[in-house]
Each structure stands twice: as structure tokens, then as C-alpha cells.
Structure 1
Amino acid sequence: MNALLVDDSRLARTELRHLLRAFPEVTVVGEARHAGEARTQLQDLQPDILFLDIHMPGETGFELLASLDVAPHVIFTTAYDEYALQAFEVNALDYLLKPIQENRLAAALAKARTKLMTPAPVSALAPAAGPEPEEPAPALLTEQDQVFVKDGEQCWFVRLADIRLFEINGSYTQIYFEQHRPLIPRTLQHLEQRLDARVFFRANRQQIINLKWVESIEPWFSNTLKIKLRGGGPEVEVSRQQSARFREMLSL
């Protein structure tokens, strides 16, 4: 994967270049200090990934993207968290807050790798070349990934590690983190496909718990378990089938 770094801070570019040395599949093909330089280098170098700062002299990172007919996959790098919503509106792969952590960078590059490996759609005018490829499975999220959550007029950018419970609430799923309880239009089945099963456990038809937030476990009726989570929220009754799976997973 060829990457272009765009940031008005030489120190920030140097630090990011240093972090990227841990990922031999990534080649930094150029650097730019502002949108004008970036636009020229994008045309000349055709990178796969654009690491893009938001606040720069002249045009912002968003204004640069708006001026492009075609853009590579974008990973925003910024010291400000208030632009997360706008970043997702322009289909950014990820939004990394400075100082950038290596595990977050690794997760962002995994998303880029998945996108780049997905075959481009075939034109309807092209002759058929066999059966259509299966739709790729959604990229697995790690507990260190940050996800954008919106409920009404409120928005959050939250680490999955900080979410202790997902619970069905009508036709929505309620998320428990800190003191917040937003609702999102996602099913537990969809979330289960995206979450790391070593951390997020499907306790029953209604709830997925973060195992790292378990405070206590006690035997319950008919050989089931009841789990209490740190930080509040309802006690979770684990179904009989999942109780057996829980014991099998976590026993020595």
C-alpha cells in the first residue's frame, strides 16, 4: 500500500512515518505540507492511502477532498475530536487522534487493506466472467477501534473497549458506556459479526456483553449464569446454551 502524508507539521509527519515503519506492507511515497502540495502529489503519485490532517494553512483537509474528482482511501489524523461526524460523512476509513497510537494505526491499516482487497465492481456492459464474487465479510473491529455513535442530536466517538453492554431495545440496540445509553439502528446479529468474539460475548438473544467489564458471576436457575457488569446497567442472565459455552470458553 502506497501512502501520502499530508500535515503542515513536520514533526507530525516524521512521527507518523516512524510509526509506519512497523508496517512493512506500507510504503510512504510522499509528504505534503498543505492542500496545494497534496493535490499535485496525489496526481503524480496516485497513492492508495491518504493520511490527512484537517487544520492546515489555506485549505482544510475537507476542502482538499471536496476539490478532488477521485480520492484515495482517507485516514484523518488530527488533534481535534469534534470533526468525527464530518469525517464519516465523507466516507473516511478512520479518524486517528494525535498523538497516534500504534494499535489504532494498525486497526486503520487493516480497514484499508480490506478495502483495497475488495474487487472493483464490473461494468454492466462488460461480458460476464463467471459467477459474482461473494460480498466480503465486514471488517472485524478490535476493542481499541473507535466508533461513531449518533442518537438524535447527540454524537459520540467512543472506543469499543469502553462499551460494556449492547442490548436490544425495541427495533434498536442500546449501547452502555460511561453514563450514556444511546440507541442505534443496528441489530445484535449485525454487531456480533463485527465484534471480536474473544471480548464481546453474546449472552442471550437480547444482550452482548464486554467480558472485560464483568464484575461478578453467580450460578442461576437451570444451570445458567447471572453476570453483573462494572459501571452499572442491568444484570445479565446468560441463556442455558450460552452459559455452557461461557464455561467452556473461559475455563482452564
Structure 2
Amino acid sequence: MSRTGSRLRAVIADDEAGARAHLRALLEALRVQIVAECAGGSEVAPVVAEARPDLVCLDVRMPDLDGIEVARRLQPGPPVVFTSGYADYAAAAFEIGAADYLLKPLSPARLGEAMRRVRTHLRLTGARTGSGAGTEARPRAGAPPFPRIFIPVDDHRIALAPDAIRFVEAQGGVCVVHTDDTSYRLRTPLGRLERLLGGCGFLRTHRAYLVNLRRVRALVPWSRHVHSLLLDGGQETHVPVAKSRLAAFRGSVIWIPHAGGQRSGPGTGGESGDRGGREPGTG
């Protein structure tokens, strides 16, 4: 269960013991319980899987594995707050959905603001405690009872039902929302859209793609480690699935293990799908 009305549970990771102690003291003053500490990035994923915290505080520059890569490996998982002495990595952090990015030396007021953001995120998504990296993630709960996505267009906003969106694609500094008959360009980071749409059945399958699982027709293997999702709709569209995201995809759908044997005839569904002579990512 989430900790929106009680103490948050946090894992902190920083290669400097003094920095961890300072952050621990500030968090405890904000009624945040520290359930584990890590001195290196490679320690974080197994610790998060075991402790199932509500949030993770990550230093960016750690000697074995940097915080940005750690956060990628945790997805989808608990909200991540970065703490760093360098502003250079903020854009990369928010691109992968960081809840906040704090510069050292840490300010109690600024850290308090970050914790309010985490609590708001947990309340809006109905998120349970983090499931950790390498676990099979379920679609996030907390979708509103009558979900409508209001997208800014010129001086007004249009309402879309979630199922009208096939996928969202990051292109440079914008995200393109693809529907059956048109597309919309938003200056919103893909990571933020992932958090907003996760409760409506959307899954991040690649660093540049967010897919509506209800619009998936088949999982297509191009090689042992290269897969794409074939989407339904008027035009054939393949969206890539990163090797690191296959477990999350399998955990978000009803996955029937392969038991051997052959397809019984034409039209039988399966993992192979309809490749149609296209490469992943084309549409």
C-alpha cells in the first residue's frame, strides 16, 4: 500500500557516507523512514526489490553505476528523487521520469517540496510500494473513474479517451501522441506522460516509446533479443520493445508460457504475429 497518509519509506544511495548521513537526517525530520542505504549504484536494484520502498533517493555520480542508469533499471518502480552536486544531468533525469532533482548542498525546504511531490504522485496513482527492478510489474492503479485525457491544442484543450491513443513517441524535445487518425505534439517529457497514463494501461516499452497495451495486436520477435509490438488500427505500426523492458511487458499482460507444439492452422494467434516485412519502430 502507498504511504500517502503515513510515513514514507525510502532507500537512499550515495557513495559518500557523509552525504548519506546528511540526507538521512533531513528525511527523518520530514517523517520519512529510511529502510536501507546503498553505497553504490549496483546495490540499489536488489535492495529495492527486497525493501519495497515508497521512493528512492539517488546520487547521480557513483563509481560503479551512475544514478541515471540505476533509475532506468528500476522502471517501472517507486518514484525517484535525484540528489547531485551537478546540474548537468537534470534533463536526463526528468526524461526518464524523475519525481525531482535536487542540487547539493541539500536544502530542508527544497527536500520537503520533493517529498510533497512524491506523496502527491502516490496519491494520484494509487501506487503501492515499489516493486523493484527485475520484477514483473503490473499496470499502475489509480485511474480516475471516467478517464479523459485533455491535450492542449492552440488556445483550448481537446478530450481523448485513453483507448483513442495508440502510442506516444519522444522526438527530440517533444512527445508525439498518435491516435488512429491524427497526432498531437506536446512539450511534455515522456517520463511525465508515463506517470500520468500508467493507470490507464500504458507501458513504457523503450526509452522513446509509451504504448497503450489495449491497442497491442502481437509481440513480434525479430531475433532472440529484438522484439516489437504490432499495434492495431488502420495502418500497420511496429513499436520497439527494449530487451530490458520485456519482463515488464510480460508482467503487464496475461502471459501464457510456451508449452511446445505448432500452430494448428491459419489465423492462429501467437508471439510471432505478422511481421509484414517491416522493421521495429516503423509505422
TM-score bracket relative to the smaller structure: 0.3 to 0.5
TM-score (norm. length: structure 1): 0.48
Based on CA coordinates, which of the two structures has the bigger radius of gyration?
Answer: 1
TM-score (norm. length: structure 2): 0.43
